[in-house]
Each structure stands twice: as structure tokens, then as C-alpha cells.
Amino acid sequence: MGKIEVGEIFSISDEANEEQEVEVLGVMTIEGTDYVAVAFAEDVKQETEDDIDIFFLKVDEDGDFSAIESDEEFDKVSAAFDEMMDEEEE
């Protein structure tokens, strides 16, 4: 898999093993590890004022997604994403 770009749509399996389409909202590298911020594609398309759920996934060297395992790692990625979004709004 090549470089992941903002706006790309992927299918991932949820806990019930059902396919869900997610759209990439942000891509970042923290301490040598790549992460993506994604949201359900259907939620992104609706363009409402409501908040949408954003998920962070780790990208391995093969380009596969995996869940973030620890709260500490999640907090680090979430803070970096918030900072990135704040910079884009300026």
C-alpha cells in the first residue's frame, strides 16, 4: 500500500466483523510511527454541525491498520491531531 492521503476511503471490519467505510481525516507520524485519524464516511458526507466520532488507527509497515492499544498512546495521538487541526484553521 502506498502513502495514505487525506480524503481516501477504506473499509475496515468492526467488532461484529461487519465492513464499515471510513474516510481519512488526517495523517501524522509520531516518534516514527504512522497514524491516521478516520471517521465513518457516511458521517463525513452528511456535513451537519453535529460532532462526528473520530477514531485513531496505527499504520504498520505493510500499510495495515491496527487499534491503538494504550490510553497513553491514544492521548498522544489525539493531542497531535488536535494541534494539527488547530494549525489548519489558522
Tell whether 3 is covered by a domain: no
pLDDT at position 90, please?
A: 67
What HEC string does 26-77 produce? EEEEECCEEEEEEEEHHHHHHCCCCCCCCEEEEECCCCCEEECCCHHHHHHH
Which residues form the domain of 80?
A: 9-89
21 domain residue, yes or no: yes
Q: Is residue 1 part of a domain?
A: no
How many independent structural domains does the chain possess? Answer: 1
Tell me how far apart the alpha carbons of residues 12 and 83 are, in angstroms, rounded to a whole number.
26
Residue pLDDT, tens place only, 14-72: 778 889 899 999 999 999 999 999 999 988 888 777 788 889 999 988 888 888 989 99
Which backbone phi and psi does 53 adopt, to 5 degrees?
-75, 130
The amino acid sitting at 61 is E
Q: Is residue 30 part of a domain?
A: yes
Within-domain flag for 2: no
Q: Is residue 50 part of a domain?
A: yes
